[in-house]
C-alpha cells in the first residue's frame, strides 16, 4: 500500500488557491475547508468542486488542471480517513526527519567518504535491521562465504 503524503497533496492544492484567491482570508478559509474535506475522505467531492469552479485567471486555470490531474492520478493513495482510522501516518515528515538525523549523521562522520553505491548499501543494511530482517542478511552472508 502507498499513501500520498497529505501535506504534499495540500501543497499542490495551495498553488492553485494562491492563483485563484487573491484575498488571504478567503484563500485560508477555502484551504481549511478543502483540508477537512480530504481528511474526511472527500477526494471525489473536492475533484468535483475543482472541476466546477471557474478559474479567475490563466495561472489559476493551469494550476487547477495540474491539481486535478495530480489528484485523479493519486486518488487511490489519498484515502486519508481510512488511513487515519487504521492508525497509519499520512505525512512523510517523520520518515524525512529520520533520514536527516539517522542516515545523514552516519554518512557524514568525520573522515567518512562514501560512494552512492556504498551509501545505498548502508541504508539497505539499516532498513533490514530496523524491519527485523537481520537474520536474512546473516544467512546471505553465511551462504556467500
Report the number of distinct structural domains present in the chain.
Answer: 2
Length reported for the chain: 145
Residues 11 and 41 in one domain: yes
Picking from 36, 65, 85, the residue at the C-terminal end of a domain is 85
Q: Does some domain include residue 1?
A: no
Task: Count the alpha carbons within 13 Å of 8 in the hemisphere toward its beta carbon.
Answer: 13
Residues 120 and 137 in one domain: yes
Residues 53 and 123 in one domain: no
Residues 72 and 41 in one domain: yes
> What global pTM score does this model have?
0.67
Picking from 34, 63, 85, the residue at the C-terminal end of a domain is 85
Residues 131 and 107 in one domain: yes
Residues 18 and 66 in one domain: yes
Residues 26 and 73 in one domain: yes
**In the block, which residue shows the cell 541504508?**
123
Which CA distances in Å does 99 have to 6, 102, 131?
19, 5, 15
Look up the domain containing 123 and give its range.
93-144
Residues 9-26: b if buried by 16+ CB within 10 A, e if exposed: beebbbbbbebbbeeeee
Q: Can you give the pLDDT of all 145 residues of the chain as single tens digits?
A: 789 999 999 999 999 999 999 999 999 999 999 999 999 999 999 999 999 999 999 999 999 999 999 999 999 999 999 999 999 888 877 666 666 666 777 777 788 888 888 888 877 887 788 788 888 888 888 888 7
Instruction: For residues 35 and 58, give the distance between their C-alpha atoms in angstroms, rounded to a whole number.
Output: 24
Amino acid at each position: 500500500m502507498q499513501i500520498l503524503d497529505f501535506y504534499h497533496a495540500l501543497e499542490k492544492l495551495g498553488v492553485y488557491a494562491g492563483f485563484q484567491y487573491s484575498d488571504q482570508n478567503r484563500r485560508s478559509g477555502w484551504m481549511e475547508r478543502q483540508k477537512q474535506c480530504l481528511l474526511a475522505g472527500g477526494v471525489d467531492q473536492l475533484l468535483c468542486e475543482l472541476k466546477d469552479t471557474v478559474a479567475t485567471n490563466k495561472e489559476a486555470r493551469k494550476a487547477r488542471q495540474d491539481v486535478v490531474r495530480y489528484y485523479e492520478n493519486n486518488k487511490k493513495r489519498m484515502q486519508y480517513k481510512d488511513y487515519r482510522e487504521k492508525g497509519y501516518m499520512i505525512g512523510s515528515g517523520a520518515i524525512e526527519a529520520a533520514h536527516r538525523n539517522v542516515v545523514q549523521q552516519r554518512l557524514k562522520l568525520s573522515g567518512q567518504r562514501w560512494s552512492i553505491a556504498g551509501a545505498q548499501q548502508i541504508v539497505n543494511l539499516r532498513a533490514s535491521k530496523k524491519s527485523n530482517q537481520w537474520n536474512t542478511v546473516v544467512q546471505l552472508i553465511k551462504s556467500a562465504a
